[in-house]
Structure 1
């Protein structure tokens, strides 16, 4: 049992796509908060953030809107005299992506930015980030694309089946139309033949009756 449990833990560690971290911090107004991360060259750093503002009426934090304030994301290379490699301004919630160009310690800083009294308000910022290779972090996206691709293939097959059924219905309608036209044509010719036979019969009878009346000296 212990060996089985250890194997399961080891398997879970193998399938983990990347290092995932999440935390939150409080700031007063536009205070800048930073955290450090050691990244190797070519490492993909993906993060999301959400800012909340303290509401006195609610006695708690609520999600900040675009009209409240935005957030500035700065990423600096501390090993290269705090060289700024990313400077991004966004809304109160969003995401950011960065690929380390060199190995070393990086400083990721987050700062609310607004004017007026909001800059002095208490804010809470939640941060989530993943660290890993480009291939690993994109595996979820590739899986989603594969799923969507499979669904599109299913829809295409259904559309093809519907088109085949429509074509079959059109073929049946064409066969029925041809049969109806053939029957109508035959009926018309049959009526025409009957009229011709009737006319010939009437003419013969009239001629025969005329000779009979003449022979009987009726006419």
Structure 2
């Protein structure tokens, strides 16, 4: 069996970081109420951090941690530049489950702080905060943004295609309605003229009959 010394393990870890410039690591911690917890990390200029978090509260009835609604609970994320007199560069308030992204503008020590926010009885309950960090270069972030933009562009193109299809269907319906309207107006016009012709014929017949009867009565010396 081949064993590995501590130096070999460190060398393997460094080699892994060189091969995979983007690091992803996650952990969780417990806190009481709105306790503020901070983590320090040395970052170089252009390094980005993308963090995902999830906060759950302890349910004494079930004796386990449960998710909570955004109306009752939230989380505040602060990122400060320790090297620049603790200058705050990020201040974000979000729901119990969310993410945040930060790009280091200058090289130096940074402090990442998370603080659960709640009101009422939840402000004193035990909480569990799960964190997952992805640390990489600014180019990696630009690549992700590009992929996101391409995905959004594909969705926009798909929606535009659907809108165009709907417009074509609406135009087809309008054309059919116009044809039906023209046909109905033509039929109504013919029916009206047919009724007028019938009335004229009937009136002419009545006048002719009245004249004929009048002349007949005159000849018979009835009138």
Give your verdict on TM over 0.5.
Answer: yes
When residues 200 and 152 of structure 1 are mapped into structure 2, their CA distance, relative to the original with a 3 A threshold, is same
Distance 1:172 1:126 in 2: 65
Residues 84 and 189 of structure 1: CA distance in aligned 2, closer, same or farther (over 3 Å)? closer
Instruction: Tell whether the 8 Å contact from 1:54 to 1:62 is kept in structure 2 after alignment.
Output: yes
Per the TM alignment, residue 48 of structure 1 is displaced from its structure 2 partner at its CA by 2.3
Contact 1:54–1:122, Cα closer than 8 Å, also in 2: yes
Q: 1:75–1:84: 8 Å Cα contact kept in structure 2?
A: yes
Q: Does 1:169 align with 2:176?
A: yes
Q: Distance in 2 between matches of 1:68 and 1:211?
A: 108
Q: Secondary structure at the match of 1:138?
A: helix
Counterpart residue number, 2:41: 36
Q: Any gaps of 5 or more consecutive residues in structure 2?
A: 1-19
1:22–1:68 CA distance, 2 compared to 1 (3 A): farther
1:171 shift after superposition: 1.0
Q: Distance in 2 between matches of 1:70 and 1:33?
A: 17
Q: 2:28 aligns with which of 9, 12, 25?
A: 25
Unaligned runs of 5+ in 1: 1-15
Q: Is the CA contact (8 Å cut-off) linking 1:20 and 1:128 kept in structure 2?
A: no
Matches within 5 A, 1:27-176: 27-29=30-32, 30=35, 32-41=37-46, 43-64=47-68, 70-80=74-84, 82-112=86-116, 122-131=126-135, 132-133=137-138, 134-176=141-183
Deviations 1:151-210 (A, max 9, x none): 421331233123213312321232122212321232123213322441354245335535
Take 1:210 and 1:120, find their aligned partners in 2: how far apart are those partners? Answer: 118
- Which whole-Å CA distance do the structure 1 matches of 2:214 and 2:126 have between them? 121
Q: SS where residue 40 of structure 1 aligns?
A: coil
- CA distance in structure 2 between the aligned counterparts of 1:196 and 1:120, rounded to whole angstroms: 99
Distance 1:114 1:198, change over 3 A: closer
Give the CA RMSD over aligned residues.
Answer: 3.8
Taking the aligned partners of 1:124 and 1:161, their CA distance within structure 2 comes to 54
Q: 2 CA distance for matches of 1:199 and 1:89?
A: 93
TM-score by length of 2: 0.66
- Length-normalised TM-score, structure 1: 0.67
Instruction: Say how many residue pairs are matched.
Output: 199
